[in-house]
């Protein structure tokens, strides 16, 4: 299981911070892009489903990631796993394996060519 630790990287040439926030989630979060502020309601607030020391549910079903290039706009997605029945089956069985969708997104965009760090 991973704990949530944001990865901040300062890019001198662009002069802004990249944020990659890995999240172990108890439920499926649809891929969303929009304003990060939960009050805006554009992107589901990850803290409603992530696992931390005080979470009652410690059953991580999905590996998710929240990316932000400017601290205002973000892109949030989860790895759907290879479970045959999709996210619904994964919620029930927890037997699916990650497909690499999250990692691909980090490597795909030129602004996200950063080291994604998680802690054990």
Which pLDDT score is estimated for 39?
Answer: 94
Q: Is residue 2 part of a domain?
A: no
Q: Where are the alpha helices (DSSP H) in the chain?
A: 86-93, 101-108
Q: Is residue 120 part of a domain?
A: no
Looking at the structure of the chain, the number of domains it has is 1
Q: Element (H or E) spanning 32, and its range? A: strand 32-35
Domain range enclosing 44: 7-112
Which pLDDT score is estimated for 53?
Answer: 87
CB contact at 8 A, 71 and 51: no
Q: Is residue 118 part of a domain?
A: no
In this structure, what are the phi and psi dihedrals at residue 78, rounded to the nearest 5 degrees? Answer: -125, 155
Which pLDDT score is estimated for 32?
Answer: 95
Question: What is the spatial distance between Cα 3 and Cα 82, in angstroms, rounded to a whole number?
Answer: 23
CB contact at 8 A, 3 and 97: no
Q: Is residue 87 part of a domain?
A: yes
pLDDT tens, position by position, 33-89:
999 999 999 999 999 999 988 888 888 999 999 988 788 899 999 999 999 999 999
Which pLDDT score is estimated for 120?
Answer: 44
pLDDT tens, position by position, 3-19:
454 444 444 444 455 67
Q: Is residue 57 part of a domain?
A: yes
The percent helix, strand, coil of the chain (3-state, each to 5) is 20, 30, 50
Question: What is the spatial distance between Cα 28 and Cα 46, in angstroms, rounded to a whole number?
Answer: 10
Q: Is residue 71 part of a domain?
A: yes
- pTM for this structure? 0.73
> Which comes out higher in pLDDT, residue 111 or 44?
44
**Whose CA is closest to 87, among 4, 24, 21, 29?**
29
pLDDT band at 111; cut points 50, 70, 90: low
Q: Is residue 117 part of a domain?
A: no
Q: Is residue 92 part of a domain?
A: yes
């Amino acid at each position: 299981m991973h704990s949530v630790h944001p990865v901040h990287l300062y890019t001198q040439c662009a002069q802004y911070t990249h944020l990659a926030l890995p999240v172990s989630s108890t439920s499926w979060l649809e891929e969303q892009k929009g304003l990060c502020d939960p009050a805006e309601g554009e992107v589901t607030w990850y803290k409603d489903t992530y696992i931390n020391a005080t979470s009652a549910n410690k059953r991580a079903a999905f590996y998710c990631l929240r990316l932000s290039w400017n601290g205002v706009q973000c892109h949030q997605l989860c790895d759907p796993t290879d479970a045959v029945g999709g996210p619904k089956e994964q919620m029930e069985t927890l037997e699916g394996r990650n497909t690499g969708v999250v990692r691909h997104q980090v490597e795909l965009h030129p602004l996200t060519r950063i080291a994604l760090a998680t802690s054990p």
